[in-house]
Amino acid sequence: MKHNLVQSIVEQSVMLTSDADWDKLIQQVHNSKFVLLGEASHGTSEFYTARVEITKKLIQEKRFTFVAVEGDWPACQAINRYVKGYDLVTKSAKDVLKSFDRWPTWMWANEEMIDLIEWMKEYNESGQNQTKVGFYGIDIYSLWESMDEVIRYLKQIDSTDLEAARQAFTCFEPFNRNNEEYAVSAGIFSEDCIEEVAKLLTTIQRKKEKYPHHEELNLNLQVNALVAYNAENYYRTMVVHDDRSWNIRDMHMVDALNEIMDFYGSEGKAIVWEHNTHVGDASATDMKDSGMINVGQVIREQNPTEDVFITGFGTYRGTVIAAEEWGMDFEIKTVPPAMKGSWEEAMHLSGAYDKLLIFTDENRQLFQGRIGHRAIGVVYRPEYEQYGNYVPSVMSDRYDAFIYIDETQALHPLVQEKAPVL
C-alpha cells in the first residue's frame, strides 16, 4: 500500500461521529438535480441507515422530490401510494413492504426501510413542501407484473388500447411467467415477443397526454409499458450477451428515471439508491474495457456536471446478508478484512474509524491511481472474494464523495422465508 495514498486520505477525509456530520455532504451537493447514493452490498445495515439520514436532509433542506431505487416498479408503487396518501387502507410501512415478494426480498423488505417510509409519509402530510415526495422502483425485472398492471389499468379506463396489451400478454403466456424459459426461447430459438411489446409501448407513448393523471396513473402506465418493452429485450439478450444485457438494464433504469423527472417537471430532483456498480461512473472502472456502461456514467453524460453528485460506500469488515447461490435463502455472512492493496484497506489504514471523503477540483489528482474497490452482490461467497469482488477503479473519477464505515453489520430482513426466484 502506497504511503502517500493513505496519507492523502488522512488529510482529505473527515471523521463521521453523528448524523450531524452529513451536513458536510449536503453542502457539497449545491444545486444538483441528481444525487446518487451507492452501497457496496445489498445487505449492509449501515449503508441503508446512512442513506436514510442523507435522504431526509436532501428532502428537507434541498427540496428533492423523489427517491428512485434498484427495485421493481409495481412493488415500489405500493410504497409511493402509501407515502403520498393514495392508499387509504394500508396502516403501516411494515405492511407495505409485504409487496416485495420477489427474491431477493431483503433488499427492500427490511427493518431499516421502515424509518424512511414512515418519515416520508409524515413529511408529505405536514405540507412542508407543496409537491409530495415520491418513491419509485426503476429496475427491469418485473416483466409479468408490469404487463398485469398495464392490462388492469387499460381495462379500468375502458381504453381502446386494451387489445394491444392483451396481444402482447398472450404472446408471453406460453412461458408460464418464467423469465429463464422466455430468455432461452427468445435468445437461442428466436421465438420472441418483441413486435408485440414494441407495438404496445409505441401505442401508449403516442397517447401519453390523453390518459388520466389522477394519482399518477399516467406515469404508472408509461413506466410499466417501458418495463415490459425493455425487460423483453433484457431477457432475450442475457442468454447470449451478458455484457449487452447489463447495458440494457442500466439504460432502462436511466430511461425510467428520466420518465419520472419529466413527470415532476422543473421541480424534479432525484435521489437514487443503487449499488456502487450502478451509480459509480463505469467509465472510471475496468467495466469500460468491456464496453459496459452504467446509470452513473449515463446520467453524468446526459446532464451538466454541476447537476449530478455521486456518493459511493464501502467497509473494511463486518457481516452482510447474502445468499450462497441465486434464489437460495439468505444467510448472515462474514465480510473478511479487505484485500491487501485495495481501496478499503487504504481507508482502514488511514484510521480504523468511519469517515467521509469528498473529491474536489483541488484534491482529485491525489486519488487518480486505479485501485481495487470491493463490490458484494446478493450472491456472495467470501472465500472466493479475491477472485471477483474487486472492481479496478479511479475513485476520484468514479465518485464525487465516498462514505467509509470501518466495520458494518448485516441488514435486518422482515421476511424469513424463501421467495420466488427472478
- The predicted pLDDT at position 420 comes to 43
Which segments in the chain show pLDDT lower than 50?
Answer: 416-422
- The predicted pLDDT at position 174 comes to 83
- The predicted pLDDT at position 182 comes to 82
Give the span between the Cα atoms of 341 and 23, in whole angstroms. Answer: 31
Give the span between the Cα atoms of 27 and 43, in whole angstroms. Answer: 28
- The predicted pLDDT at position 187 comes to 66
Q: Are residues 276 and 39 in contact, defined by beta-carbon separation less than 8 angstroms?
A: yes
Give the span between the Cα atoms of 60 and 398, in whole angstroms. Answer: 27
> Nearest-CA neighbor of 234 among 143, 138, 352?
143
Cell numbers linked to 239: 442468454
Cell numbers linked to 161: 388500447
CB atoms under 10 Å from CB of 43, counted, come to: 30
- Render the burial of 339-359: b for 16+ CB within 10 Å, e for the rest: eeebbbbbbbbbeeebbbbbb
- The predicted pLDDT at position 332 comes to 97
- The predicted pLDDT at position 239 comes to 74
Helix, strand, coil percentages for the chain (3-state, nearest 5): 55, 15, 30
CB atoms under 10 Å from CB of 291, counted, come to: 11
